[in-house]
Amino acid sequence: MTVWVTLLRGINVGGHHRLPMQDLRDILDDLGLKDTKTYIQSGNAVFLGPSGDPAALGQKITNAIALKMGFAPFVFLIEKDAFDQAITDNPFMGQIKEDKHMHVAFLTQKPTKPDLGRLHNLASNGEEFHLGNVCFYLHAPAGIGRSKLAAKVDVALGVKTTARNWRSLMAIKALADAL
């Protein structure tokens, strides 16, 4: 069995695509996944599941949510080892004063033609970023809510992303480590 980390994109935001975490746990359990745990209301889950193609398992999860809830969120499914590596690869580790200002956006795939110049032009208030193989790292000392850069990451990279702050990533990692 593989430990998987699941990050759902765009649920429970502004009253749209409401998915209570108990419902998410039930959906994952109904798919035969084991030891499901969730963290806060933004669609973070860890579980034990079959090894193999994350895209196929992610699509099964999307389809099951669509069947039960009536909408189909994009599911980012990451093996625990890759999730841990994304955390280890954070180039800003020594600079983080408040973990709420450090964000990691997981990518659906490595961008083929990222417009990093556009992102550099949008950076303000001490923002720094780094594009890794599977993640986009953003240190936003003034907060992500005011960041023009954060709002344009998907467009500039040409891929879908879902971001979590450092505090959430550490909590999700702790859940995955316990499996």
pLDDT of residue 98: 78
pLDDT of residue 38: 97
Does position 145 have pLDDT exceeding 90, yes or no?
no
Which of 66, 83, 100 finishes a domain? 83
Do 101 and 160 have their domain in common?
yes
Does position 114 have pLDDT exceeding 90, yes or no?
yes
pLDDT of residue 93: 85
pLDDT of residue 146: 84
Confidence grade of residue 10 (pLDDT, cut at 50, 70, 90) = confident
Task: Please report the beta strands in the chain, taking only residues with DSSP state E, as ranges in sequence order.
Answer: 2-9, 34-39, 44-49, 74-79, 102-107, 128-131, 135-139, 161-165
Q: What is the mean pLDDT of residues 44-68?
A: 96
Do 76 and 7 have their domain in common?
yes
State the Cα angle at 58 between 57 and 60, rounded to 5°: 65
Q: Residue 44: give its domain's CATH number.
A: 3.30.70.1280
Question: What's the domain range around 79?
Answer: 2-83
Do 69 and 42 have their domain in common?
yes
Number of domains in the chain: 2
Does position 177 have pLDDT exceeding 90, yes or no?
yes
pLDDT of residue 64: 98
Do 50 and 127 have their domain in common?
no
Confidence grade of residue 95 (pLDDT, cut at 50, 70, 90) = confident
Q: What is the mean pLDDT of residues 148-156?
A: 96
- 26 bridge partner residues: none
Contacts of 122 (CB under 8 A, 6+ apart): 148, 149, 152
Q: What is the mean pLDDT of residues 119-141?
A: 95
Q: What is the mean pLDDT of residues 49-54?
A: 94
Do 66 and 97 have their domain in common?
no
pLDDT of residue 61: 98
**Least confident segment among 59-68, 91-100, 114-123:** 91-100
The reported pTM is: 0.93
Q: How do 44-49 and 102-107 pair as beta strands?
A: unpaired
